Structure 1
Amino acid sequence: MIVEERIYSLQVGTAPEYLRLYEAEGLAIQRPILGRMVGYFTTEIGPLHQIVHLWAYRDLAERSERRARLAADEGWKAYVQKIRPFVVSQENKILIPAPFSPWAQDDPALDMARP
């Protein structure tokens, strides 16, 4: 199991509208395609105006397949055009769980939204 961490740095003051659009439109498109959302967060201390979200995958191959499906989705393409003006930068990391982490095993209990 791997976890992808995505961090979006936003224009100052745009986080509430970004989150409103994501909840209203983006979530319904992204969640069924990507499958296992670990969490979606905003920052309050440290670098501000950031959105952090985590998605779990069995491996890089599953991630690549799901990300390709998302990129090809017409609804997603339209949604991205709406939020793109808010985004200053994006950072991605692939997190590999330590052997003792609950995410180290491909545990069906962790499959929160397997389509």
Structure 2
Amino acid sequence: GATEGRGLTGYLTWRSVSASFATGPRQDNGIFYEIRTYEVKPSRMKEFVELVNQHIHLRMAHSELVGFWTTELGAMNKAIHIWKYDNFAHRTAVRTALANDKDWQGKFISPALTCIEKQHNEVAYLVPWCQLGKPPKEVHVIWWNENADNRASGRHKAHEDARVVAAVRESVRFLESQQNMLLVPLPFSPLK
């Protein structure tokens, strides 16, 4: 369960787009989420965020945005955004439409590409809690906190909870590595 001041917003397993999907998670439907990470040149972050704020509505006209954040702590100068697709045919249609959208290409893509050092995208599937079973190979957990101080307080309280301590002890054997980032949503982000 969630501790006071902390709410579980999403639990995603993901695999790299270049990976074989034959070994990926299975669902009753084809819905998946694309997690796109842009590493932005530090000197261009402000410009990039301004471009996104001005023109993201052009991108949102093509498919559903789940959330859009910039990093505050952890890996710096990153923009992370998540898009929902009904299936891979839907994603292909959206990507084709975006490539042909002159406003999107001219107003955002052309200037934004000069701000970006690297791009990375991964495919993620929502994991139903009731079917979790053994942890999958790669997991992303997104926690919502009112602010960074509430996160620290909630984390401290969680570490005093015997149920949390037991769950961590049980699951730590599956942990190969862990990365933490404090994400700050941009104003238009549906997921805050």
TM-score by length of 1: 0.80
Q: Deviations over 1:49-90 (max 9, x none)?
A: 000000111111111111110111111111211111110000
Moved more, 16-25 or 50-59: 16-25
1:44 equivalent in alignment to 2:72: yes
**Which is higher, the Rg of structure 1 or of structure 2?**
2
Match of 1:22 among 46, 52, 63: 52
Return the letter of the residue paired with 1:89.
Answer: K
Question: How far off is 1:100 after superposition?
Answer: 3.3
Write the distance in 2 (CA, Å) between the matches of 1:39 and 1:28. Answer: 13
Write the distance in 2 (CA, Å) between the matches of 1:63 and 1:12. Answer: 30
Question: What is residue 123 of structure 2 aligned with on the other side?
Answer: 94
1:6 equivalent in alignment to 2:31: no
RMSD after superposition:
1.6
Question: What is residue 66 of structure 1 aligned with on the other side?
Answer: 94
Return the letter of the residue paired with 1:81.
Answer: S
1:2, 1:57 within 8 Å by CA — same for their partners in 2?
A: yes
Return the letter of the residue paired with 2:88.
Answer: L
Write the distance in 2 (CA, Å) between the matches of 1:39 and 1:18. Answer: 16
Write the distance in 1 (CA, Å) between the matches of 2:129 and 2:59. Answer: 29
Write the distance in 2 (CA, Å) between the matches of 1:2 and 1:10. Answer: 25
Bigger helix fraction: 1
1:56 equivalent in alignment to 2:106: no
Percent identity between the aligned chains? 24
Match of 1:31 among 26, 50, 60: 60
Q: Which runs of 4 or more aligned residues in structure 1 lie more than 4 Å from their structure 2 counterparts after TM superposition?
A: none
SS of aligned partner of 1:80:
helix
Structure 2 regions of 5+ residues with no counterpart? Answer: 1-30, 131-189
Write the distance in 1 (CA, Å) between the matches of 2:129 and 2:46. Answer: 36
Higher relative contact order (CA 8 A, sep 6+): 1
Question: How far off is 1:4 after superposition?
Answer: 0.4
Question: What is residue 144 of structure 2 aligned with on the other side?
Answer: none
- Equivalences, count: 100
